[in-house]
Structure 1
Amino acid sequence: MMAFLPKTLLLLLVVVVCIQLSGVLAQTVPDRCWCLKTLKKRVPKEDVVEFSIFPRRARCNNIEIILTLKPVNSTIPSTTTEQIQRCLSPETRQGINLQHCWQRKNTNGTRSTVKMSECF
């Protein structure tokens, strides 16, 4: 019975260390790509409220453009105002134009979003 106790304590110590390390790694490892599919067609600028652009990162080799769209009128009553977001391909003409606007408006690198009205 006494030989079982040191093995149990050692196993418990290993588990605690692994849990602590997994928390540290989760905070330091960048996210993977958020945009699994991107729109290749133009989105009417009237439908877009704002957009964000995320540069290439360690674990995502893509430039990601995330559009926040205006809510669509629905016949189903909704109690929440859920934002609709879509990913736009950065290679499209609209994607390139939004990247240029982003660079003009985000000169100090502190903005997370740009209003569509600021670009056009």
Structure 2
Amino acid sequence: MAFLPKVLPLLLLAVVCIQLSGGYSPTVQADVRDRCWCVENLKKGLRKDTIEEFSILPSRPYCNEVEIILTLKQANNSSKGIKRCLDPNTLQGKNLQSCWKSRNTNNTFTFKMSNCPMTQNA
């Protein structure tokens, strides 16, 4: 029993240190995805006027595919835009990647569709 009073403060100190160091953070771990985001890709482009913005995620160690995530414009006053994945090998996917590479000056993943005026559908 004399062992418990000596170990308990050390255990509490270890828990506090882990919390302060960020070693365990449920919100961060829930947001980090260790796989590709896109399970299914659209094989055909969407009309440009239906797309609000797009994100291009380059290949990563846990996902060797370039992923294009389209955020569609809100319909019927919905609170969130619907997200769809676009096959990066479609004409529209290639055009979006080209626009993103040429106009993305601050290296962000998400880009407004209005920044790509020449992007074609298909």
How far off is 1:5 after superposition?
0.5
Q: Read off the aligned partner of 2:2 and give its amino acid letter.
A: M
Residues 2, 40 of structure 1: alpha-carbon distance in 2 compared, 3 angstrom cutoff: same
CA distance in 2, matches of 1:100, 1:60: 21
CA distance in 1, matches of 2:62, 2:87: 18
- SS in structure 2 of the partner of residue 53 of structure 1: strand
- 1:2 is aligned to 2
Higher alpha-carbon deviation: 10-19 or 88-97: 10-19
CA distance in 2, matches of 1:82, 1:11: 44
- 2:42 is aligned to 39
Once the two structures are superposed, residues 46-88 of structure 1 have per-residue CA deviations (whole angstroms, 9 ceiling, x without a partner) of: 3212222121234433212111212234xxxx5x432122111
Of the three residues 53, 56, 75, the one matched with 1:53 is: 56
CA distance in 2, matches of 1:3, 1:70: 63
Between the two proteins, what is the percent identity of the paired residues? 41
CA distance in 1, matches of 2:4, 2:52: 63
TM-score (normalised: structure 2): 0.67
- 2:96 is aligned to 98
Residues 84, 15 of structure 1: alpha-carbon distance in 2 compared, 3 angstrom cutoff: same
Of the three residues 67, 73, 82, the one matched with 1:64 is: 67
- 1:11 is aligned to 11
Whether 2:24 is the aligned partner of 1:22: answer: yes
Residues 13, 36 of structure 1: alpha-carbon distance in 2 compared, 3 angstrom cutoff: farther
- SS in structure 1 of the partner of residue 101 of structure 2: helix
